[in-house]
Structure 1
Amino acid sequence: MTRLRAPFTPPAVLLMLYASLAVMGMLLLKLPIATREPISWLDAAFTATSAITITGLTTVNTGETFTRFGQIVILVLIQLGGLGIMTFTVRVLSAFGMHVGLRQRIALGEDLNQTSVGDLFALVKTIFVFVLMAEIAGAILLAFRFVPDFGWADGIWAAVFFSVSTVNNAGFAIFPGSLSAYAADPLVNLVVPALFVFGGLGYTVLYDLNRVRRWRGLNLHTKLMLAGTAGLIAVSVPATLALEWTNSGTLGGLPADEKLMAGWFQALTTRSAGFNTVPTENLRDSTSFMFVILMIIGGGSTSTAGGMKVTTFVVLLLATIAFVRGQDRVHAFNRELGERDILNVLALGVVTVSLFSLAAFLLILTQEGELIDILFDTASAVATVGLSRDMVPNMDDFGQLLIMFLMFAGRVGPLAFGFALARRTQPLLRYPPGKVFIG
Structure 2
Amino acid sequence: MSRLKHIKLFDTLSKKMVAGFLILITIGSLLLSLPWATPDGQTTSFMNVLFTATSATCITGLTVVNTATHWTTFGQLVILVLSEIGALGYMTFAVLLFNIMRRRIGLSTQLMVKESLNLENLSDTKSVMKYVIGLSLAFQVGGMGLFAVDFVPRFGWTHGLYVSMYHAVMSFCNAGFDVFGDSLISFRNDGYVLIVTMILIVAGGLGFLVWRDLLLFHERKRLTLNSKLTLLTTLSLFVIGFILLFVTERDLRLLPAGTSWFTRTINTLFLSVTPRTAGLITMPTGQLQAGSLFVIMILMFIGGTPGSTAGGIKTTTFGVLMFQSIAQIRGRKDVEYSRRRFSQENISRALLLVFLASIVMTVATLILTQTETIPRDFGLEYILFEVLSSFGTVGLSLGLTPNLSVIGKLIIMLLMFIGRVGIFTSLYALSKRQAKVNLIRYPEENILIG
| TM-score, structure 1 normalization | 0.92
Q: State the match for 1:433 in structure 2.
A: 444
Counterpart check, 1:414 vs 2:417: no
For 1:396, the equivalent position in structure 2 comes to 405
Aligned-partner residue type, residue 424 of structure 2: L
Unaligned runs of 5+ in 2: 1-7
Change (3 A) 1:343 1:251: farther
**What is the CA distance between 1:54 and its match in structure 2?**
0.4
Matched residues in 2 for 1:387 and 1:251: separation?
A: 22
Does the Cα contact within 8 Å between 1:22 and 1:45 map onto a contact in 2? yes
Partner of 2:393: 384
Task: Name the residue aligned to 1:242.
Answer: 247
State whether residues 367 and 399 of structure 1, in contact with CA within 8 Å, keep that contact through their aligned partners in structure 2.
Answer: yes
Query: 1:14 aligned to 2:23?
Result: no
Do the aligned partners of 1:273 and 1:385 also contact (CA within 8 Å) in 2? yes
Cα RMSD after superposing both structures: 2.6
- Offset, 1:17: 0.7
1:356 paired with 2:361, answer yes
Q: Call closer, same or farther: CA 1:300–1:93 in 2, change over 3 Å.
A: farther
Shift of 1:229: 0.4
CA contact (8 A) 2:252 2:264 kept: no
Residue 140 of structure 2 corresponds to 135
| Corresponding residue of 2:272 | 267
Measure the CA separation in 1 of the matches of 2:72 and 2:309: 26
Q: CA deviation at 1:150?
A: 1.1
State the partner residue of 2:282.
Answer: 277
For 1:67 and 1:388, the matched residues in 2 are separated by 23
CA distance in 1, matches of 2:255, 2:406: 31
1:31 pairs with 2:34: yes
Change (3 A) 1:126 1:366: same
Matched, 1:41 2:46: yes
Quote the Cα distance in structure 2 between the aligned partners of 1:269 and 1:7: 32
Secondary structure at the residue paired with 1:226? helix
The answer for the alignment partner of 1:345 in structure 2 is 350
Say if 1:108 and 1:419 are closer, same or farther in 2 by CA, change over 3 A.
farther
1:54-83: CA deviations, max 9, x gaps?
000000000000001011111110111011
The one-letter code matched in structure 2 to 1:397 is V
Q: Give the Å deviation of 1:108.
A: 6.7
- Superposed displacement of residue 239, structure 1: 1.2
1:96-133 deviation digits (Å, cap 9, x = unpaired):
996249xx74x974676445665112111210001011
- Pairing 1:99–2:107 present: yes
State whether residues 387 and 412 of structure 2, in contact with CA within 8 Å, keep that contact through their aligned partners in structure 1.
Answer: yes
Instruction: Assess if the C-alpha contact under 8 Å between 2:58 and 2:86 holds in 1.
Output: yes
* 1:84 to 2:89 alignment: yes
Q: What does residue 293 of structure 1 align with? A: 298
- Alpha-carbon spacing, 1:127–1:250, altered in 2? closer, same or farther (3 Å): same
- The residue type equivalent to 2:107 in the other structure is H
Name the CA shift for 1:112/1:288 in 2 (closer, same or farther; >3 Å): same
Q: Which structure 1 segments of 5+ residues have no match?
A: none
Percent of aligned positions that are identical: 36
**Distance in 2 between residues matched to 1:438 and 1:275, nearest whole Å:** 42
Task: Find the aligned partners of 1:142 and 1:342 in 2 and give their Cα distance.
Answer: 42
Q: Structure 1's 437 and 112: CA in aligned 2 closer, same or farther, altered over 3 A?
A: farther
Tell me: CA distance 1:180–1:318, structure 2 relative to 1, closer, same or farther (3 Å).
Answer: same
| Counterpart-to-counterpart distance in 1, 2:271 and 2:245 | 8
> Structure 2 CA distance, aligned partners of 1:295 and 1:85?
24
Matches of 2:122 and 2:129, distance apart in 1:
11
Q: Supply the distance in 2 between the matched residues of 1:290 and 1:395 (Cα, whole angstroms).
A: 24
The letter of the residue matching 2:341 is: E
Q: Kindly tell me: are residues 114 and 435 of structure 1, through their superposed partners in 2, closer, same or farther at Cα, counting changes over 3 Å?
A: farther
Whether the 8 Å CA contact 1:93–1:100 is kept in 2: the answer is: no
Once the two structures are superposed, what CA deviation does each residue of 1:244-288 show, in whole Å capped at 9, x if it has no partner? 136654577733221111111111111111100111111111111
Distance across 1 between alignment mates of 2:277 and 2:354: 17
Assess, with a 3 A threshold, how the Cα gap between structure 1 residues 67 and 276 changes in structure 2: closer, same or farther: same
Counterparts of 1:303-342 in structure 2 under 5 Å? 303-342=308-347
* Residues in 2 aligned to 1:315 and 1:18: alpha-carbon distance in whole angstroms: 29
Structure 1 residue 375, shift from structure 2 partner: 1.1
Residue 374 (str. 1) matches residue 383 (str. 2): yes
Asked if 2 retains the 8 angstrom alpha-carbon contact of 1:250 and 1:283, the reply is: no
Deviates more, 1:82-91 or 1:308-317: 82-91
Q: 1:252 to 1:387 in 2, by over 3 A?
A: farther
Q: CA deviation at 1:237?
A: 0.8
Indicate if the aligned counterparts of 1:177 and 1:279 stay in contact, CA closer than 8 A. Answer: no
Q: Is the 8 A contact 1:111 1:415 kept in 2?
A: no
